[in-house]
Structure formats: C-alpha cells, structure tokens
Amino acid sequence: MTKVPGPIKTFSHTLPGQHLYHGVLFFGFSPPETLDAVRDFQVKSDDVFLVTYPKAGTTWMQEIVWLLLNDANFSLAASSPVYMRSPFLEFKDDTLQEVGLDIANALPSPRVIKTHLPKKLMPEQTFEKKPKVIVLFRNPKDVCCSYYNFYKSSSSFGDFQGDWPEFLEMFLEGHVDHGSWFDFTKSWWPMRDATNFRFVFYEAMKINLLEEIKQLAAFLGKTNLSPETLSKVAEHCSFESMKVNPMTNHEDVYSIDSSVSPLLRKGTVGDWKNYFTVQQNEEFDQRYKKEMADLIPTIPFKFSFDDDVNT
C-alpha cells in the first residue's frame, strides 16, 4: 500500500518506478534525475511551452501550435510523430528513444515544448526568459474519466486493475502520475494576466476551433497566415482527422493498447455523465469547492453543453 500527500489514504495500485518529487507523485518515465535536469533546462525567449494536466487535450494543442509556428507545413507534419516535433520535457523512455530533454535541445527554434508540470517544477529560466506559455485547461470531471481510460490502456502506469470508483478516489487524492489536478491547476491560474501567457479552454476549442486557432495565431505573432490557411489548420486538427492520423494518434507507441482505449478516445464534453453516479458527482463538487475556494476569480469551467452547467 502506498501513502500519498494530503489526507492519509492508501491505494493498492503502484506506478512503475513510482516516486515523490517535491511532494508530487510521478511514474518512472519522469525519474528524479530528469526532473532535476528540467529545472536547469536552457530556455530560449522564442520557445513556446504547452502546459497541460494529463488528458486535457495536450496532443490536440501540440499539433495546432506546431503547425502555426511552422507556417502550416502539413507535409513536414506528416513526416514525424507529434511527440518528436513537440517533445514531452520531463519524459524519458529509452525503449521508445524518446527523451524529452534531448529532443528539445536538438530542435531548431522556435521550439514547441509540452509539459504536465506544476509551476513550481518548471525550468527556472521560464520566468526569466519569458517565453510564450499556453496553458490548456479542461473541466476536471472529463479529465478524470479520460485519465481512467488511459490508465487502463497504457502499460506506463502499470497493470491497473482498479475500477472507476477506485480511480476517482485516486484522482481526488493526487495518487496518479503528475500528482494532484487541484494543485496543478491552482499553481498556474495566477499567471492568467501575464502578457506572455495565454489560457485556453478545451471546451471553447470544441465550440469554435477556428476562432481559438485565430486567437492562438495572433498570440504567437503569426500574422502572415491567411484565413484560408487557418481554416486548413482547423480542418487538419479536427478530432476526427487526428484520430486517424498516424502522426498524432500514437498508435505506434508500444505502451498504449488501443484495443483497450486509444489515446484519442472520444474528445467530447460531458462524457463524465456516463461514469459519475449522483453521489460521486455530489462528492466531487464538494471537494472541488473546498479545494478551489480561494481562487479569485473562479475558473470558468464548462462541464456540459447539454444543460449549460458551469462552475
């Protein structure tokens, strides 16, 4: 049994190489020495960091931003998986030959770099060099459901045999890779007014992807891209397109069993309603209000399109 930060609770599931780093739980693919090296990573002022909690639409945003920064070079995008064009900074997989720090260091500028880290564990130069930072938020109920399916399909998290109620409790207590969603979210929200930051909501992208892409292009200074080009980027980056695109669907990744659950599974808003019981939903809402009570202003998450439920 494993103890985790916060309330004293134990869980049967253990991540491969599980360890705590500055109070945050990580799997073995983000080992302590890599997390140490991330702190010393040499940031460039023209870098673009994509900051997300796992399963918040990361791959979607990676493809969009890479295409915008590379003048919608679809042919180049078709020649290399997105995880090699936009490295996962704190990730190290020797089998896959995917070492985020090495890939990032070898990339030409401007670099698009993905991370799931809370603010306190970011490279120290992030706040000195002031690169552009895009923070993508998704409502936590859908994040939790998506993460549950990912846990079941990916060997990176071990042979998870738990059920939905167990995983929900693990998620609430931060006993998942990259730790507490609450801590991650609260660490980044205060940066929303910084001029080099842009906060984007997954649900807004689902409502009007083209408009969000236009705003991202403006934030990135890509005023040379025509409306027609931006429309092509939106079409290329639709969920349906990315799900069948071998450069974005991760079906080549040995650790993901797509027959259990593909990386790009549904891409919907409100799927949590298919998982949460009434009691679980009430308990989640109570925990959310307690954890997020001090945030001013509150984060305008949209939990559903059906009944316009917002928090």
Instruction: Single out the catalytic residue among 13, 19, 116, 236.
Output: 116
Indicate the pairing of strand 92-93 with strand 10-11.
Answer: unpaired
- The vertex-99 CA angle with 162 and 219, nearest 5°, equals 95
Give the Cβ contact number of residue 243 at 10 Å. 16
Which DSSP string do the residues of 273-293 spell out, in sequence order? GGT--HHHHHHHHHHHHHHTT
Is 116 among the catalytic positions?
Answer: yes
Residues 6+ positions from 171 with CB-CB distance below 8 Å = 144, 147, 148, 181
How many C-alpha atoms does 207 have within 13 Å on its Cβ side?
14
Q: How far apart are CA 197 and CA 211, in angstroms?
A: 18
Please state, in angstroms and rounded to a whole number, the distance separating the CA atoms of residues 269 and 275. Answer: 13
Assess contact for 286 and 311: CB atoms under 8 A.
no
User: What positions carry a catalytic annotation?
Assistant: 116
